[in-house]
Amino acid sequence: MELTELMDQLESTVSEAPYIPMTSKAVIDQNLCLELIDRIRAALPEELAEAQGILAAKERILAEAESEAQELRQLGRQQLEQSASESEAVAVAKERAAEIVAEGERQAREMAAAALEYSSSIYGRLEDDLTGMLEDLRHRVPDKQTA
């Protein structure tokens, strides 16, 4: 079962618990709540592994983008170095090589920025969801020592 489903089930268990008359306290099924908490703990490593997979994919994309940019820069440099004459044809070739290098670097920056933004967004949402769920759980499930 997915982490959010477990959290929803725990929330439902707590929110639907019958209240003790004349108080704001509710009677909850402690065993069910503890079982759900255990299942949430078991599901957390899966969610974290998914987040780590996203981060690894980000690193791979960034490395590929950097490698491609390096290759394009090298290609541009080689084209510039091979130009022996300053004739118009050579000048055009140099200009084209510089354009290729500039375009490769621009594409690499765009790819790297997009990958970083995507992975940061996914990781941030996961972190926010987990933090929110944990805080909600702490507010809804009484501490064993105070119950």
Return the domain boundaries, the chain.
3-140
40 sits in the region (left: phi over 0; alpha: psi -120 to 50; else beta) called alpha
Long-range Cβ pairs for the range 28-33 (8 Å, 24+)? 28/141, 28/142, 30/147, 33/141
CA 127 to chain centroid: 9
Q: What is the pTM of this model?
A: 0.36
Tens-binned pLDDT, residue by residue, of the chain (147 aa)? 588 898 899 899 998 999 899 988 989 999 999 999 888 888 888 777 888 888 888 888 888 888 888 998 898 888 767 655 556 777 788 889 999 999 989 998 999 888 888 888 888 888 888 888 888 888 887 666 555
Neighbours of 125 (CB within 10 A): 11
